[in-house]
Amino acid sequence: MFASASRSSARVLGAVRLVFRGVRTNAADNQAAAASAAAQAEAARKDMPPKDMRPLYLDAQATTPLDPRVLDKMLPYLVSMYGNPHSRTHAYGWESEAAVEHARKQVADLIGADPKEIIFTSGATESNNIAVKGVARFYKSKKKHVITTQTEHKCVLDSCRALEAEDFDITYLPVQKNGLIDLKELETAIRPDTVLLSVMFVNNEIGVRQPVEDIGKICRAKKVFFHTDAAQAVGKIPVDVNAMNIDLMSISGHKIYGPKGVGALYVRRRPRVRVEAPQSGGGQERGMRSGTVPTPLVVGLGAACELAGKEMEYDSKRITELSNRLVNRIMAECPQVVRNGDPEHMYPGCVNLSFAYVEGESLLMALKDVALSSGSACTSASLEPSYVLRAIGADEDLAHSSIRFGIGRFTTEAEIDYTAEKCIQHVKRLREMSPLWEMVQEGVDLKSIKWTQH
User: In angstroms, rounded to a whole number, what is the distance separating the alpha carbons of residues 107 and 298?
Assistant: 10
E-assigned strand segments in 182-317: 194-198, 225-229, 248-252, 263-267
State the catalytic residues: 378
CA atoms within 13 A of residue 42's CA, in its CB half-sphere? 9
Q: What backbone phi and psi angles, to 5 degrees, belong to 209? A: -100, 115
User: Alpha helix locations (H) across 45-173?
Assistant: 68-79, 91-111, 124-138, 154-164
Provide the β-strand partners of residue 196: 146, 225
Distances (CA, A) of 99 to 85, 177, 286, 303: 8, 46, 17, 11
User: In angstroms, rounded to a whole number, what is the distance separating the alpha carbons of residues 378 and 255?
Assistant: 14
Provide the β-strand partners of residue 146: 170, 196
Helix (H, G, I), strand (E, B) or coil at 54: coil
User: In angstroms, rounded to a whole number, what is the distance separating the alpha carbons of residues 315 and 235?
Assistant: 10
Burial class (CB in 10 A: 0-12, 13-18, 19+), 137: middle
Amino acid occupying residue 141: S
